[in-house]
Structure 1
Amino acid sequence: MSTEDSGLAIPQFGTKGRIWLLALVVLVGAGLAAWLYQLSQGLVVTGMDNVFSWALYIMLFVFFVGLSAGGLIISSVPKFFHSKRYDSLAALGVLLSFACIVVAGLMIIPDLGRPSQLTGFITSPDFRSPMVWDFGIVVVYGLFSAWYLWLLTRRDLAKMGSPLAFGVQDTETGREADRKKAFWAAAVAIPLAIMLHSVTGWIFGLQIGRGDWFSPLVAPMFIMKALVSGLGLLLVTAVLADKFTRYRLPEKLVPELGKILGVFIALHIVYLVAAERLPIAWAENFEFWAITSSFLIGDSIHFWIWTVVGGAIPLALLVIPSVRKKVWAVVTASVLAIVGILFEGIYLVFTGYTELNIGDSPGVTTGRGYTGIGADVWTTVGAYTPTPIELLVSVGIIALGALIVTVGLRFIPIQPGETVGLHERDTPVTDAAVADGGCERDERARGE
């Protein structure tokens, strides 16, 4: 059977797709140049110091680990329970998971200052440190995600005649065997993803010197963050892929997944935040209003963006069935939820570093050069603002992740061959239609 007859032909990038690719490559190049500059000058070009030793890079590391773990869990649970209902999202979710873990892993490198320090995790690991365990799990998880994606798509790759099939043949017996292997892969993926983000949470939760982090609920909070952000990213990407590529998202799945997202947000923002904050408020205050205000009222703008913009508003959009049926409402709720999880990470880092363990004068040294004006090398309150260098490096790494997803949509058959019937339209997509990766469809394919 020819590639064209198989219905899995890889079309070419159109004009918009090429512009999108060029923009991503430019951003990756800018990030690389900024990182090289940071290497030449040292971490002094960042906003980090002795007080804020974890900042933007670690915030984004935690954020993208959560996106990756959540995406893998959401994609694997249906496979584990032998449900074909969400097959059209499985490979896309694993692709997103792989891209996000690559971004997360790369965020560690500029944070270390010198890439050579990575060798310490291998040559002289201290297994008492959760950082060592996190490094090992990130590496194993990344390799597993790549293999898992190949397992889910290799028969269709063989059907296309793609060299990425690596000699695998497309046979019905092979597809049946792969369905069984996908079950066992999912059985490994789910605990691996939970372990990945739990260990990341314990990096914070085991810091007994940081009162705002030392909590037994940090790991469960991190898992819920992963589920909210991972499902939100999957929904947004699936809707965009359906609009701009040959990928087809069954419209009936959008409100269903929106309902699940609403449940995740409610558990995260309403239950777990209450479970974490109420005992602290109760222990520190003995009057009713003092307890209530400490429990309900946030202490920074980051808290409000996290709980209101990223929690209450999307929950309001998703709780009403008539609104949840609208794609724009689910996408808006997903975007706001992702933004909220990002600011939760910012809130987490800032609450840990703003209040120092040494509150008496002169405090601690910032580690920055003395300017000759007052005692500006000492501080009793932490302060941090990311520099343009940090922002450029971070944007460049994120652009690399977006490039992985774009190229993946172009070369990997994300749409399973056996579920094409779920996405057929009145007028089939022709070879003249645009490519995966962000280009326009053929006018006839859109029914225009």
Structure 2
Amino acid sequence: MAVDTAGEHDSIVAVDGFGTLGKVWLGFLGLLILGGLFAWYQQLQLGLAATGMRNVFSWGLYIMLFVLFVGLSAGGLIISSAPKFFHSDEYESLARFGVLLSLAAIVVAGLLILPDIGRPGRIYQFITSPDLRSPMVWDFAIVVLYGLFNVWYLWLLTRRDLAARGSALALGTDDTAAGRDRDRRLAFWSAAIALPLAVMLHSVTGWIFATQVGRGDWFSPLVAPTFIAKALVSGLGLLLVAAIAADRLTNFEFEAELRTRLGKFLGVFLAVHVVYLVAAERLPHAWAANFEFWAITSGFLVGETSFFWLWTIVGGAIPIALLAIPSLRETAWAVFTAGALAVFGVIFEGVRLIFVGYESVNLSMAPGVSVGEYGGLGSTIWAQTGVYTPTLIEVAISLGIIAIGALILTVGLALLPIQHRPTDVRADGGGEE
């Protein structure tokens, strides 16, 4: 992908491949991936005892990040596909970028399933002997289907430009005016599939939590709608952060007017998610437990953990304030900061959802749940409250998998015509760069 290297900053992508900064970045990602592979080898040797998870905390960092990246992927695809479905050409420049980002995120989410399984060699049983009563089977199926769809959708959006460049990635596709018209129609129908598929993806993930009768914090019909809302927040937030960074570091161009308009949308999504859905979820519980005004008010306004405040204030109120001021919303740094804080908030909403949700054992009577550890005189193998801290092995594996997603995004920006340019189409049916 040709890049103007005459700019004032070093570029990740150069005319002949990757620039100096790009090679450093690729090397850094490679180190993270190798570190993750080594940590996973250690985990396979030691078993899940190498993680901080136990019988009380059977879900930990891997599942928390899985939920996060499923949401990032679903939100990114919704934001990218909705304009195509409604024939809104003003967002065309961001469609390919959004699908590439969605693909990278769903690959990360899918790979996070592997270290969470004690024996990943048995993952084939999802296909050979699935238990259709299990939400995890449906989640695995929709993740695989969704990932394959992202590959097809990205290729559909870029194949004519790839053909115009003579790229082998065009897979024999010819660049013709008739072919581009046909692809525009296919893109519309693909968007029509992408939107419900993205909603299904994160709804199924939400229902996994919502159907856990023994977990009072999860057993709620609002979990799936809340997951969709936070997918829109985190997906658009990441899209804005990545697009602004790509605009600075590659040849991708992110128009200031489009950036400002999407910043408005992010502010609206944040308000609905953080303000309305928090009240909708917490107020009925607070009302049922208390009947004094302050007791009811504090029941849904005052968080019981620091994670609640990191989500609602740092990840909600501050970015809303940045995006609500027109003069700030027009600046790249404010939109970038708001997007980053929105993703940060959703991360800690996931921490609150899983880590806090597992603290209380769903057994009210002693001795509790066996944690499988005995420290000697005066200790016990039973627990009625859970404590979980991710180990270095979990962190290293997670960083390695996230680095794979970053690698997909980086290489995609270098090899694929992610920037949509209407002038690439010639009247004679050919293409030009």
Q: How does 1:406-421 map to 2 (within 5 A)?
A: 406-418=410-422
**In the alignment, what sits opposite 2:27?**
22
Task: Tell me by how many angstroms 1:350 deviates.
Answer: 1.9
Of residues 4, 12, 17, the one that matches 2:17 is 12
Task: Tell me by how many angstroms 1:126 deviates.
Answer: 1.0
How many pairs are equivalent?
416
Distance 1:113 1:127 in 2: 21
For 1:232, what is the secondary structure of its paired residue?
A: helix
Question: Please, what is the CA RMSD of the aligned residues?
Answer: 1.7
Q: How does 1:327-346 map to 2 (within 5 A)?
A: 327-346=332-351
**In the alignment, what sits opposite 2:388?**
384
Of residues 74, 78, 84, the one that matches 1:79 is 84
Q: How does 1:297-308 map to 2 (within 5 A)?
A: 297-308=302-313
Q: Unpaired runs of 5+ in structure 2?
A: 4-13, 426-432
Q: Which AA in structure 2 matches 1:391?
A: V
Distance 2:35 2:224 in 1: 35
| 1:102 partnered with 2:107 | yes
Q: 1:156 touches 1:417 (CA, 8 Å); kept in 2?
A: no
Could you give the per-residue CA deviations for residues 219-274 of structure 1, whole angstroms, max 9, x where no partner exists? 00000110000001111111111111011111111110000000000000011111
Distance 2:377 2:148 in 1: 51
Distance 2:165 2:205 in 1: 39
Q: Unpaired runs of 5+ in structure 1?
A: 422-430, 432-448
Q: Which AA in structure 1 matches 2:413?
A: L
Could you give the per-residue CA deviations for residues 156-191 of structure 1, whole angstroms, max 9, x where no partner exists? 111111100000011111111111100000000000
Task: Tell me by how many angstroms 1:361 deviates.
Answer: 3.2
**In the alignment, what sits opposite 1:313?**
318
Could you give the per-residue CA deviations for residues 342-385 of structure 1, whole angstroms, max 9, x where no partner exists? 10011000232101112333321112x31214233211111100
Q: 1:88 touches 1:419 (CA, 8 Å); kept in 2?
A: no
Deviates more, 1:197-206 or 1:317-326: 317-326
Q: 1:10 touches 1:411 (CA, 8 Å); kept in 2?
A: no
**In the alignment, what sits opposite 2:7?**
none
Deviates more, 1:257-266 or 1:120-129: 120-129
Task: Tell me by how many angstroms 1:100 deviates.
Answer: 0.4
**In the alignment, what sits opposite 1:162?**
167
Distance 1:262 1:32 in 2: 38
Of residues 199, 204, 207, the one that matches 2:212 is 207
Q: 1:10 touches 1:410 (CA, 8 Å); kept in 2?
A: no
Task: Tell me by how many angstroms 1:326 deviates.
Answer: 1.0
Q: 1:255 touches 1:325 (CA, 8 Å); kept in 2?
A: yes
Distance 1:223 1:242 in 2: 28
| 1:322 partnered with 2:327 | yes
Of residues 179, 184, 187, the one that matches 2:189 is 184
**In the alignment, what sits opposite 1:41?**
46
Of residues 353, 370, 374, the one that matches 1:370 is 374
Could you give the per-residue CA deviations for residues 250-300 of structure 1, whole angstroms, max 9, x where no partner exists? 111111000000000000001111100000100111111111111110000
**In the alignment, what sits opposite 2:198?**
193
The ranges of structure 1 where at least 4 consecutive aligned residues each deviate by more than 3 angstroms after the TM superposition are none
For 1:25, what is the secondary structure of its paired residue?
A: helix
**In the alignment, what sits opposite 2:8?**
none
Distance 2:261 2:418 in 1: 21
Distance 2:285 2:386 in 1: 23
Distance 1:84 1:272 in 2: 32
Normalising by structure 2, we get a TM-score of: 0.94
Normalising by structure 1, we get a TM-score of: 0.91
**In the alignment, what sits opposite 1:126?**
131
For 2:363, what is the secondary structure of its paired residue?
A: coil
Distance 1:373 1:240 in 2: 56
Q: 2:84 touches 2:188 (CA, 8 Å); kept in 1?
A: yes
**In the alignment, what sits opposite 1:241?**
246
Q: Which AA in structure 2 matches 1:200?
A: T
Task: Tell me by how many angstroms 1:420 deviates.
Answer: 7.2
| 1:405 partnered with 2:409 | yes
Cα distance change on mapping 1:119 and 1:307 into 2, 3 Å: same
Q: Which AA in structure 1 matches 2:323?
A: L
Instruction: Percent identity, please.
Output: 64
Could you give the per-residue CA deviations for residues 299-358 of structure 1, whole angstroms, max 9, x where no partner exists? 001111011110011001111111111111111000000000010011000232101112
Could you give the per-residue CA deviations for residues 82-123 of structure 1, whole angstroms, max 9, x where no partner exists? 111011100000000001000000000000021123122111
Could you give the per-residue CA deviations for residues 178-214 of structure 1, whole angstroms, max 9, x where no partner exists? 1110000000000000000000000000001111100
Distance 1:113 1:241 in 2: 38
Distance 1:15 1:350 in 2: 41
